[in-house]
Chains A and B, each alone.
Chain A
Amino acid sequence: DAGVIQSPRHEVTEMGQEVTLRCKPISGHNSLFWYRQTMMRGLELLIYFNNNVPIDDSGMPEDRFSAKMPNASFSTLKIQPSEPRDSAVYFCASSSADGDSPLHFGNGTRLTVT
């Protein structure tokens, strides 16, 4: 298995532009998580899905952020409009239905908003 796949690896955009980050979880995993990593705050959970349904989006910073999971093998995190303070590394992770399953992380997308 290739693991969790995220794209793009790097994204540089100007303030005000729309940004879409993509994630393909490990096949067979039914939980998907979006985390944001910054130097100041470490890893923060933004949202997670179980069986494609959003369960907890309390970590989503504001209405500019939205996430979807149209099917079991694909999720997107969208920022519209983007702001410089959104610059961070965004990680996607997945886990299986087994209650003991750890999270498996993707390589992350490094977002820079200028």
Chain B
Amino acid sequence: AQRVTQPEKLLSVFKGAPVELKCNYSYSGSPELFWYVQYSRQRLQLLLRHISRESIKGFTADLNKGETSFHLKKPFAQEEDSAMYYCALRAHSARQLTFGSGTQLTVLP
């Protein structure tokens, strides 16, 4: 069975500082990885997915199969980035996503 681990429940950084939210996974096959973001009391929204290889709101994430990681990075954090971030994995030919426990990011002024 697959598993997604986000080791940090809480992460605080100052505005303008770099931020990295860690995500590790365990899955024997070829996974599809996602990052979802949830702003205060709103629905979860897709932030980015590894197959798109794009940057959204300044965030990027690279799938590292050797380290089984999909860390989310942004060089200069903004206060509006404060939110809950979930890393998720979809197994090959599956429909459902397996989520990590989430990281609450707070960007301080």
Contact = CB atoms under 8 A, between A and B. Distances in A.
Interface string A4-20: 10000000000000000
B15 to A, nearest CB: 26
B55 interface: no
A65 to B, nearest CB: 17
Contacts of A33: 95-97
Contact of B95 (A50, A91, A104, A105): A50
B43 A91 contact: yes
Interface size, A (range): 20 to 34
A42 B100 contact: yes
B98 A45 contact: yes
Nearest to B46: A102
Given A42-B86, A43-B102, A31 B43 contact: no
A31 B86 contact: no
B49 A105 contact: no
Contacts of A95: 95
Interface in B18-52: 32, 34, 36, 42-46, 49, 51
Interface of A: 3-4, 31, 33, 35, 41-45, 48, 50, 55-56, 91, 93, 95, 99-100, 102-108
User: 4 smallest A-B Cβ distances: which pairs?
Assistant: A42-B101, A43-B99, A105-B44, A105-B43
22 contacts: A3-B43, A4-B43, A33-B95, A42-B86, A42-B99, A42-B102, A43-B44, A45-B96, A45-B97, A48-B95, A48-B96, A56-B96, A91-B43, A93-B44, A95-B95, A100-B32, A102-B46, A102-B49, A103-B97, A104-B46, A105-B44, A106-B43
